[in-house]
């Protein structure tokens, strides 16, 4: 059997403790070899707000996961041109690492939207979906989603960007090294 790899995608703008907790819980609960943080290039459904560059988001992820032996950075989407669909990215990963078993982590709020995902049938053949339970969201899905419980941490990147912009505190919400980087690079500020 090949390596068992978790994939946690997101804009990571910025990465916060909620992301790290989810990755760590999935890593241990499913006994994976690693969880890769995969920053989105240009997601099809989201504009990147806060004017952060792909390089800055990549660096924030690198800083956030430094020192955790089970976490790695997967820059595949940042290197692609144009919008990234999960199916296309996963197909590239599977071609690159045919022996790996990929577990794609999604929030409980995303499960009901899976039927609308691009090439969802094909995608569900390539990976195991892992759903992170969220209170109040439906977990039934026509696709095979392995549900896991994680401590509920209601932190969003939007909250952190707003805090930073208004001069508020993000202490304990994001790793200190990420906080330092945001300050140095003057990200999310009122500019």
Does the reported pTM lie above 0.85? yes
Report the alpha-carbon distance of residue 32 to residue 47 in Å, rounded: 31
- The predicted-structure confidence for 79-106, as pLDDT tens digits, reads as follows 887 777 899 999 999 999 999 999 999 9
Domain of residue 86, CATH code: 3.40.50.620
pLDDT of 145 higher than 90:
yes
In a domain, 190, yes or no: no
| Distances 16 to 22, 92, 93, 128, 178 between C-alpha atoms, Å | 10, 27, 25, 24, 9
Other CB atoms within 10 Å distance of the CB of residue 176: 11
In a domain, 191, yes or no: no
The tally of domains found in the chain comes to 1
Query: Looking at residue 191, what is its pLDDT?
Result: 47
CA neighbours closer than 13 Å in the CB half-sphere of residue 37:
30
Query: Looking at residue 65, what is its pLDDT?
Result: 98
Task: Read off φ and ψ for residue 55, nearest 5 degrees.
Answer: -65, -40
Query: Looking at residue 139, what is its pLDDT?
Result: 83
pLDDT of 27 higher than 60:
yes
3-class DSSP assignment, residue 162? helix
In a domain, 128, yes or no: yes
Provide the pLDDT confidence category of residue 136 given band limits of 50, 70 and 90. Answer: confident
In a domain, 27, yes or no: yes
In a domain, 157, yes or no: yes
- Domain of residue 18 covers 4-185
Query: Looking at residue 50, what is its pLDDT?
Result: 62
Provide the pLDDT confidence category of residue 43 given band limits of 50, 70 and 90. Answer: low
In a domain, 67, yes or no: yes
Burial of 83 (0-12, 13-18, 19+ CB in 10 A): middle
Among residues 3, 187, 20, the alpha carbon closest in space to that of 103 is found at: 3
What is the average pLDDT value for the chain, to the nearest integer?
Answer: 91
In a domain, 66, yes or no: yes
Least confident among 18-22, 24-28, 46-50, 107-111: 46-50
């Amino acid at each position: 059997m090949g390596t068992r790899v978790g994939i946690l995608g997101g804009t990571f703008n910025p990465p916060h403790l909620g992301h790290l907790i989810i990755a760590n819980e999935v890593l241990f609960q499913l006994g994976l070899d690693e969880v890769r943080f995969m920053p989105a290039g240009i997601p099809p459904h989201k504009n990147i707000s806060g004017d952060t560059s792909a390089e800055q988001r990549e660096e924030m992820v690198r800083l956030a996961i430094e020192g955790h032996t089970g976490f790695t950075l997967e820059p595949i989407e940042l290197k692609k041109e144009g919008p990234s669909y999960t199916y296309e990215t996963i197909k590239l990963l599977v071609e690159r690492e045919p022996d790996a078993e990929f577990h794609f982590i999604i929030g409980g709020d995303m499960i009901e939207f899976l039927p609308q995902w691009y090439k969802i049938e094909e995608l569900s053949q390539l990976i195991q979906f892992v759903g992170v339970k969220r209170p109040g969201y439906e977990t039934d899905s026509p696709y095979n989603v392995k549900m896991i419980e994680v401590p509920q941490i209601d932190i969003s990147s939007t909250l952190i960007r707003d805090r930073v912009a208004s001069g508020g505190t993000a202490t304990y919400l994001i790793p200190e090294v990420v906080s330092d980087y945001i300050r140095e690079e003057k990200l999310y500020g009122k500019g």
